[in-house]
Amino acid sequence: MPGFYPKYFVIAILLLLTEIAIGLFAHDAIVRPYGGDFLVVILLYCLLKSFLNSPVVATVIAVLLFSYIVETLQYFHIVRRLGLEKYALARVIFGTNFAWTDIVVYTLGAGLVLLVEFRRKLIAAPDK
């Protein structure tokens, strides 16, 4: 059901700012390649949940499938094939290099979302 859910929106904005900070200031071998990919799944989930009252599992699966598709497009060098390699924004959004580790990191991010959401629901509705 469409609507506006400010809690998720605030989290999405904070995650977006974190992603931007990682992109601008993290030039290492851990945080930039893995931290950003881990957080992007959570960011996309929160962004969707900001405007949709959708089931947790369905939303996580949709975000995860989207992430997998984007990663697969990297395998096929979609940025180059579309002639967008000269545009930094296209390279950042789509990425340019496929990596199996990214698939794993996306999955771990989705797992954290499930863990947090189910834990939150358990705490909100304890056994009677």
Q: pLDDT by residue (tens digit) across 41-85?
A: 999 999 999 999 999 999 999 999 999 999 999 999 999 999 998
**Contact criterion met (CB below 8 Å) for 114 and 57:** yes
pLDDT of residue 126 exceeding 70, the answer is no
Spatial distance between the Cα atoms of 16 and 9, rounded to a whole number of angstroms = 10
What pLDDT was estimated at residue 49?
A: 97
Helical residues (DSSP H) of 4-125, grouped into ranges: 6-25, 36-51, 56-75, 78-81, 88-94, 100-124
Q: Which residue has the tokens 């296209």?
A: 90
Q: Per-domain residue ranges for the chain?
A: 6-124
Query: Backbone dihedral region of 83: left (phi > 0), alpha (psi from -120 to 50 degrees) or beta?
Result: left
